[in-house]
Structure 1
Amino acid sequence: MLKIRKSKFLTILFSLILVLSIYHGNNIEKVYAASSYVNKVYMDKSRYNPGDKVTIYADLSNTSGTNFTGTLYMEIAHNEISVYTTSQSITLNNGQSVTKSFQWTAPSTDYQGYIVKVYTESGDYKTGAVDVSSNWTKFPRYGYIPDFDSNITQSNTTKQINTLSQDYNINAFQFYDWMWRHEVPIKKSDGVNPDSSWTDLFSRNISYSTIQNYIKAVHNNNGKAMAYMMSYAAREGYTDYGVNPSWGLFQDTSHQSQLNVNFNNGKYLWLFAPSNTSWQNYIGNIYKDVVNTAGFDGIQMDQMGQRDGIYDYNGKSYDLGTSFSSLINSVKRQLNSNNSLKSYLDFNIVDGTTNGWALDDVSKNADTDFNFSEIWWKSNNYNDIRNYVEQLRSNSNKKAAVLAAYMNYNENLGPKYEAENASFNGVDIAVNHSGYSGSGFLQNFAQQGDYVQFTVNVNETMNYPLVFQYGDNLDNATRTIYIDGNKVGQVQFHPQGTWDKFVYDANLNVNLTKGNHTIKISYDSGDTGAINLDSLTLGEFDEHSVRLADAAFEASGATHIELGAGKDDTVMLPHEYYPNTSKAMTGTLKAAMKQNYKFITAYENLLFDQNINYGDQGNQYININGEKISGDGTEGSIWHMTRMTKDYDILHLINLSNETDSKWRNSTSSPIVKNNLSVKYYFPTDTAISNVYLASPDFNEGTSTALKYTTGTDNIGKYVSFTVPTLDYWDMIYIKRAVNTPNNDQYEAENAIKTSVTTNTDHTGYTGTGFIDGFAEKGDEITTEINADAAGDHSLIFRYGNSTGTEATRHVYVDGSYVGILHMPNLSNWDTWSKASLNVNLAAGVHTICIYYASTDNGGVNLDNLTVK
């Protein structure tokens, strides 16, 4: 009899269990354990054209204590469908680390995302993502580059861009503040060749070779390099460079006071009329030179935000908010005619909000390649962002959207050390000025030899921002910083005009190894000025708010420009001035961001496709047993967001269970993890459901999991019921279904989702199996899904009964957006039926139609059917 040692038998049994395949129709779901041999999966490029060769790398290591010989498998899936599998034999000696590769030919279908799973029979696996798109602007994952100093070597630039491209799938980069002047970005002292370096608006050193190295590194990853440029501004002394003040914008009718931005360092940006054709031709030629000389792929156009009550040179009132599209379209034509392959263009809609300033002009009229919008205080809440993204994309035929949204803005976050608790010399503790933290602050920090020394303990080796909170009345002050006795740099402190104001805009980035360190801030011989010192913070982003905000942006249909190339590490954007690095990502946040970017790449078609339509924000779709839910991002709830495509209903669940103010920007508590959520999701009766899947950046490495489900019908309507195994920050459930188009495009009301109404058959002349009765109270609602075969204008024709003696009205919503009031005149009796209609424009595909009894509506009606023509 063959004998097998107990330990080996258990290992074999465990491996067999872990690779058990569960069949769901033609789909296969493989269940695996956490990684043991496979550590990382990544691609050689950030984006591929259809038919390209894709190289997939897997970093492997063996720390098991014994040698391993087995098989390395790879599976590639589009959403839930497996499209390719392969394997290779491997041997890993104990202690060995190797990188293995696979080759795959990208399919011919354009604009598709894929998830790649690499695993062994031992039950370990990791995933990566592939974007097959011939044009990056279809699914932009935008990063940034803020520094171009000459001490950044070519190997630095290659490493930084490889990390962002391979670990985070970034496919385009905004080169921020790389210019010499805003109207002459490339300095050419001889009039022909770029200088080797120049200084920018804020006196930073800019190396042309560093710019070139970054562009080369971006192109090597099949990414695109976008040159940041102000669209309508020139620096002081602009007439020396061929710019004419007659093109300008002015605060008065006699062109005496040109509109400007004063940086309080002797430098200005003077503003010009975007619709002025001379300015358009001038700046268009500058942009062409940027592309032709430096090799950029396009232009990121910026502006300074809302300006009202302004005039052109001739004293005519000027509407800046409707003028940008003229400039954008002129520039686009010039770039296209110069080199159509390097003519990518986007424009910043500053302070983006629903129905906001300049929104319609840019999103509806401008020939940009994707929408870009900087978010400030007019879209503060989660649902503000959702509504804005939906309007922004709807205005532009669902053009892709990128948000510049600065996390934890105006928050001093991270481990804080109070100065009064540090060791110090030559200073003393005081409490006589307001605004300090802790029990006091250190004053009289004003003489050579004064110092304050903190002892800190850090949990991981990384680059840390040292953020000093201080008071400074009048002086431009400096202090020298020492780490463990070694001089590392100098920090500047800025006058605030009062001692009763403590700010935290003085910072320096240093690398600290895990463990204890001393940080000394000293008044050395080269330092100046007097300050009060309040505290030192090791600046960090709040992981919970970042993950929830990204979930909100991405589920809404927009990506987030937030990751950049730091001098020593990947950085995250805390501020509108991109070189600001006052907060850092912890190791756990970096890991979460890698999972997030892999997820949005793999499932780009379920998140960002142009054929995605929006669902209603009401709760009539969904019930989660025992949980507070909301369709509008209410704090303390599970926020549900619905989307539809031809083949799927998509349900996003975002865990706001521990939120207290619903503001996406602010730091927050960790969500309360939800397990085994019992969900009912409602459909019109005409819908046929075939499968339910879950995918999440927080669960199972982003792989799709088929959920068991049942269907049924209750007083609300037809539903599918399933259990969500866990909700950490964000889950995406996508339900495969078919919306059957009925004969003559006539959707019976009794088959719809019903809120506080009933069905009946007690009046003659109805169609189908009955009609909606009791549609007579505020809050009553009927929701259905319809299938529009073609894009264009459609009539929504409602067949109704009304014998109340007065005209009845209802609010009508399409895909959650209000489209008008339905007027239903009084009829002779309840056995008489008539029709009332609204005209709407619909994209091809599945849409929700909601007829709602709002607070301003009146009159009871019976509703028989909806015909879509």
Structure 2
Amino acid sequence: MGKIISKNKFTIFLIVLLVLNFSCDNNESQELEVEESITPEMYSETLGLLKDKAKYAPGEEVSFHVDEVRENTIIRYKFLGEVLAEESLSATTWNWTPPIEDFRGYMVELVDIANEDVLGTIAVDVSSNWTKFPRYGFLSSFGNISSENQNEVLNNLKDFHVNGLQYYDWHAKHHIPLPLDANGSPESTWVDLFNREIKFETVNNYINAGHELNMASMFYNLIFGAWHPENGDGFSNEWLAFKDQYHKNSDKHDLGDLGSILVTNPSNQDWQKYIFNKTEDVYSNLNFDGWHLDQLGNRGLLYDYNGYLMDLETGFENFLNNLKTHFPEKKIVLNAVDQYGQDNILKTPVDFAYTEVWSRIQYSDLVQVILENREMSNNQLNTVLAAYMNYDASEGSFNTPSVLLTDAVIFAFGGSHLELGEHMLSREYFPFNNLYMQDDLKNSLKEYYDFMVAYENLLRDGGDFVIPDVSSKSISLNNWPPITGNASVVGKKIDNKTVIQLLNFDGTNTLSWRDNNKIQTKPNAFAGFDLSIAVDHSVSKVWFASPDFKGGASKEVEYIQNDNTIQITVPYLEYWSMIVLEQ
């Protein structure tokens, strides 16, 4: 394998990859005997395997359910390709207690032992802290919603292992998120800034029902916003940010006919005291697990009330540090809009990295954001990307290939994707739900989230990216970043394992992940093709898994080692496949 990339050299890593992106086998590309593509596998779960929660604490029992018991079916529990236990499927419900170790992902497979056919798979995440491996979803409607409908939403998200929820636009005013009556009790209803009705009971029920499923709840609010302050609010204009030095022109975020959000100075200690007290009102009445803070990106030159030039990024840092001191038990995360302020943000006690992606338009740009966040946090925090798919489309369905390929890239580099709530997300205004998921996307996406969870200890739990030396006589390869027409190779070393990931761009027609015009095409699928991998050690085991193949179930692969080369036959590649070499 290639040289290990040091923690603080990700930029050099990307430059080297750009220079060497043909280093796999493209220097002999004219001699390739390219494998003909095949009809993609059409895998479907047959027994309706489900579990009861989004994640589990160490020592907590997992409850499973299937629609029927089928003869000759066994339950196989695995950790990173290793079988931990097997038992016969003898009832439609059963329990399993995973090993006590914290922060581990497992794969549970239902297998017909007569022919080793995989009938169903599901992942299990055992983590005491959900922000170690954040899988973030959202809620955006809090009106008169029945408990049955709320439970339906949450159970669907639970099946995707969503372990944290952002409550988008649940509040009344940015500077008074939870309105109280004259007696200091929460109002029963209020309206958000777009005049949608919000019911306290709905918000409260969502929080409590989510906790039953081990799903955390984070309330959304700006770090520096005031919405229509009135006499009696206790708000002071001296807390605002200004476009001039004479506090005549305050900074505003215009919402057209609805008015404007006034931008406050996050460094102002009186503003912090005020909004922390309003946040205390939230926590005293609603059992939120933390605050999802938002910003508005680079606002240009700003001044405080006294005419001094503001440093907004330093203001974020000061605010977050003081917020954590004030609410030490609550989680906090701040959106780095297009990475604005992220270096300062990740110096504070935020619990994971969050980036809303705008100007980064290529698949390789998404990876660069993840690597930047990794370096800025000293490899301590995982990343959630708010990356809105098919953004310019206003009707119809999401384009399945663009969503799956984007998720494959994000997940392969250890990130996760904010995209699932009451619907799939396509705009920064979360209630927008004009696009729908077709059944093939729904089914495939569950396999992708299972895969991310089952193999989280390879994908999201440390390790060092490497530049691999991989070649094939059958398909076109190049090291990351991607090239249309090739499968792109990503290498990583973690513990005693070398991980080789193949991200397939053979057959695709754009490298723009957002796919605004829904033109992305499915990659060509390949089966049973050769792969040669250079190694610098002896190998004891090789195994394969793909979210596109048999539900992500792992499969041991025969190999031949000749000196410093491993030769294998890869079972399958459509969007994303993973090969693991163990010493």
Aligned to 2:455: 603
Shift of 1:124: 5.6
CA distance in 2, matches of 1:107, 1:286: 42
Closer/same/farther in 2, CA of residues 72 and 705 from structure 1, 3 Å limit? closer
Aligned to 2:387: 405
CA distance in 2, matches of 1:591, 1:548: 15
CA distance in 1, matches of 2:306, 2:476: 59
Of 312, 322, 331 in structure 2, the residue corresponding to residue 344 of structure 1 is 331
CA distance in 2, matches of 1:271, 1:34: 51
Deviates more, 1:190-199 or 1:136-145: 190-199
Aligned to 1:645: 494
Q: SS state of the match for residue 579, structure 1? A: coil
Of 165, 170, 173 in structure 2, the residue corresponding to residue 173 of structure 1 is 165
Of 521, 531, 550 in structure 1, the residue corresponding to residue 407 of structure 2 is 550
Aligned to 2:55: 47
Shift of 1:191: 4.4
Of 139, 161, 164 in structure 1, the residue corresponding to residue 154 of structure 2 is 161
Shift of 1:626: 4.1
Q: Where do residues 97-496 of structure 1 align in structure 2 (5 Å cutoff)?
A: 100-121=92-113, 123=117, 125-150=119-144, 152-165=145-158, 167-237=159-229, 240-336=232-328, 340=329, 343-352=330-339, 357-363=340-346, 365-377=347-359, 379-398=360-379, 399-412=381-394, 467=395
Aligned to 1:613: 464
Q: SS state of the match for residue 138, structure 1? A: coil
Decide whether the 8 Å contact of 1:697 with 1:730 is kept in 2: yes
Letter in 2 for 1:84: A
CA distance in 2, matches of 1:220, 1:375: 32
Closer/same/farther in 2, CA of residues 171 and 266 from structure 1, 3 Å limit? closer
Q: SS state of the match for residue 489, structure 2? A: strand
Q: SS state of the match for residue 131, structure 2? A: helix
Q: SS state of the match for residue 125, structure 2? A: strand
Shift of 1:639: 1.1
Shift of 1:316: 1.1
Structure 1 consecutive aligned stretches of length 4 or more whose deviation exceeds 4 Å: 33-36, 120-124
Aligned to 1:81: 82
Q: SS state of the match for residue 592, structure 1? A: helix
Closer/same/farther in 2, CA of residues 239 and 651 from structure 1, 3 Å limit? farther
Letter in 1 for 2:143: D
The yes-or-no answer on 1:623 pairing with 2:471 is yes
Runs of 5+ unmatched residues, structure 1? 1-32, 62-67, 91-99, 413-466, 468-538, 566-570, 738-869
Letter in 2 for 1:653: L
CA distance in 2, matches of 1:556, 1:282: 40
Shift of 1:266: 3.7
CA distance in 2, matches of 1:279, 1:612: 41
Closer/same/farther in 2, CA of residues 624 and 240 from structure 1, 3 Å limit? farther
Decide whether the 8 Å contact of 1:308 with 1:319 is kept in 2: no
Decide whether the 8 Å contact of 1:239 with 1:245 is kept in 2: no
Aligned to 1:654: 503
Deviations 1:630-662 (A, max 9, x none): 321122221111111011111111111123331
Decide whether the 8 Å contact of 1:393 with 1:400 is kept in 2: yes
CA distance in 1, matches of 2:232, 2:397: 44
Q: Which has the higher contact order (CA 8 A, sep 6+)?
A: 2
The structure whose residues are more often strand, as a share, is 1
Deviations 1:215-257 (A, max 9, x none): 1221110110110111111112256412211121110000111
Shift of 1:89: 3.6
CA distance in 1, matches of 2:280, 2:77: 41
Letter in 2 for 1:368: V
Letter in 2 for 1:275: S
Aligned to 2:522: 670
CA distance in 2, matches of 1:179, 1:677: 54
Deviations 1:519-578 (A, max 9, x none): xxxxxxxxxxxxxxxxxxxx110000000000011111100010102xxxxx10000000
Deviates more, 1:263-272 or 1:586-595: 263-272
Shift of 1:182: 0.7
Aligned to 1:723: 569
CA distance in 1, matches of 2:100, 2:86: 17
Closer/same/farther in 2, CA of residues 115 and 683 from structure 1, 3 Å limit? same
CA distance in 2, matches of 1:239, 1:689: 72
Letter in 2 for 1:73: I
Letter in 2 for 1:194: P
Closer/same/farther in 2, CA of residues 647 and 238 from structure 1, 3 Å limit? farther
Letter in 1 for 2:87: T
Aligned to 1:709: 559
Deviations 1:700-720 (A, max 9, x none): 11111111111224xxxx221
Shift of 1:60: 1.8
Aligned to 2:39: none
Shift of 1:119: 3.7
Q: SS state of the match for residue 509, structure 2? A: coil
CA distance in 1, matches of 2:89, 2:551: 22
Query: How many residues end up aligned between the 2 structures?
Result: 535
CA distance in 2, matches of 1:234, 1:360: 26
Q: SS state of the match for residue 288, structure 1? A: helix
Runs of 5+ unmatched residues, structure 2? 1-41
The structure whose residues are more often helix, as a share, is 2
Decide whether the 8 Å contact of 1:144 with 1:564 is kept in 2: yes
Aligned residues with identical type, % of pairs: 32
Aligned to 1:589: 441
CA distance in 2, matches of 1:317, 1:624: 58
Q: SS state of the match for residue 59, structure 1? A: coil
Task: Provide TM-score, normalisation by structure 1.
Answer: 0.60
CA distance in 1, matches of 2:438, 2:320: 39
Closer/same/farther in 2, CA of residues 212 and 627 from structure 1, 3 Å limit? same
Aligned to 2:547: 697
CA distance in 2, matches of 1:153, 1:600: 32
Closer/same/farther in 2, CA of residues 643 and 124 from structure 1, 3 Å limit? closer
Decide whether the 8 Å contact of 1:638 with 1:653 is kept in 2: yes
Task: Provide TM-score, normalisation by structure 2.
Answer: 0.89
CA distance in 1, matches of 2:404, 2:52: 26
Decide whether the 8 Å contact of 1:42 with 1:129 is kept in 2: no
Deviations 1:186-227 (A, max 9, x none): 122224111111111001111111111211221110110110
CA distance in 1, matches of 2:439, 2:314: 45
CA distance in 1, matches of 2:155, 2:173: 30
